[in-house]
């Protein structure tokens, strides 16, 4: 299974591609950043991101696209551009009939490091270790995109099958699923408190 991860952003949109083989063995395929010119109008910037993502989808033909779930941030301009870039990724995938999954940063950190509050350097090191890379993926957007692809590949079996019976999950998968659900609920509560 080939998974394309997207760390959405209007200036830099990270793209990471991994292959999940037997026993969830992961192989590195590609990492890059799709860029748009900040001096260009917003509509043309979104087209640059969309075109770049379409090119990646057509090149790698993934079985799934894993996108960071956009949540409220202090800087509303940043979150607006991020949400628009995420929308471009979802649209490009939907046009090709590729399933889309949304994962929070906490879910990705938990899947990669076992700690939903891990710092970026720790996540980058673990991404490199999991994929057998000699150097850390740079910039951070690229590492985050790979982390999202890995997160999707390592998610619990219940999430894979849309709610497989709980007794079929291992203890580690059950703990991961519970922690992921708590993280999503906590983020939802924050958004409600902020009036989002």
pLDDT tens for each residue of 152-190: 998 764 344 333 334 444 455 455 556 655 665 666 566
In the chain, the domains with their CATH numbers are 2-157+164-193 (3.30.420.10)
pLDDT digits (tens, 9 = 90+) for 116-160: 889 989 999 999 999 999 998 888 889 999 999 999 998 764 344
Most confidently modeled of 12-26, 54-68, 113-127?
A: 54-68
pLDDT at 80: 86
Give the whole-angstrom CA distance, residue 5 versus residue 105.
Answer: 12
Is 7 within any annotated ligand binding site?
yes
In order of 116, 145, 159, the CA distances from 156 in angstroms are 15, 19, 5
68 annotated ligand-binding residue: yes
> Is residue 90 helix, strand or coil?
helix
Task: Tell whether residue 141 is among the known ligand binding residues.
Answer: yes
pTM of the model: 0.78
Q: Catalytic residue numbers?
A: 7, 68, 141
Q: What is the pLDDT of residue 44?
A: 97
With 90 as the cut, is the pLDDT of residue 6 above it?
Answer: yes
Partnered with residue 6 across adjacent β-strands are 15, 67
């Amino acid at each position: 299974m080939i998974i394309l991860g997207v760390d959405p952003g209007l200036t830099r949109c990270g793209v990471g591609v991994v292959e999940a083989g037997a026993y969830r063995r992961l192989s590195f395929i590609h990492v890059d950043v799709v860029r748009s010119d900040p001096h260009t109008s917003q509509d043309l910037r979104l087209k640059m991101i969309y075109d770049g993502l379409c090119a990646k989808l057509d090149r790698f033909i993934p079985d799934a696209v894993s996108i960071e779930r956009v949540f409220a941030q202090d800087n509303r301009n940043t979150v607006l551009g991020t949400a628009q870039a995420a929308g471009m990724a979802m649209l490009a995938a939907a046009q090709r009939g590729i399933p889309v999954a949304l994962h929070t940063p906490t879910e990705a950190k938990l899947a990669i490091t076992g700690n939903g509050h891990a710092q970026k350097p720790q996540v980058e090191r673990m991404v490199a270790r999991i994929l057998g890379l000699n150097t850390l993926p740079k910039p951070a957007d690229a590492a985050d995109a790979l982390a999202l692809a890995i997160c999707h590949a390592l998610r619990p079996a219940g999430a894979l099958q849309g709610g497989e019976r709980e007794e079929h999950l291992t203890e580690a998968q059950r703990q991961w699923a519970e922690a992921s659900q708590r993280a999503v609920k906590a983020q939802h509560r924050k958004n409600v408190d902020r009036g989002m």
